[in-house]
Amino acid sequence: MSTSTLGFAVADEDRAVLDELVAYFGNGNRSAYLRATLRVMRSVKLAEELRELQAFGQSKLAEQGLTIDDVTQITRRVLKGRS
């Protein structure tokens, strides 16, 4: 794995929190902490995107006078080849 050194600024008032999190999640290693943070933030991003998709789907259902409870029946009907 190749690496690059990146610099970023942390507000003075956030430094104590950063140090605490680095100690806990990175065992004192800022790079390890950042790697752990990247995984967590990627999962947060994915969860937000999925919530947006769910809201979109529910709005499309509502436009047709349907609810999430109708999806199972619709899916079964479509899979059996009946529209």
Nearest by Cα to 41 from 25, 20, 57, 24: 25
Q: Is residue 1 part of a domain?
A: no
Domains in the chain: how many in total?
1
CA 37 to chain centre: 12
Q: State residue 81's pLDDT score.
A: 86
Q: pLDDT 10s per residue in the chain (83 long)?
A: 788 998 989 999 999 999 999 999 999 999 999 999 999 999 999 999 999 999 999 999 999 999 999 999 999 999 998 76
Q: Is residue 52 part of a domain?
A: yes
Q: CA–CA separation, 36 vs 55, rounded Å?
A: 29
Question: Could you tell me the residue range of the domain that residue 22 belongs to?
Answer: 12-79
DSSP 3-state percent helix, strand, coil across the chain (nearest 5): 70, 0, 30
Q: Report whether 71 contacts 61 (CB < 8 A).
A: yes
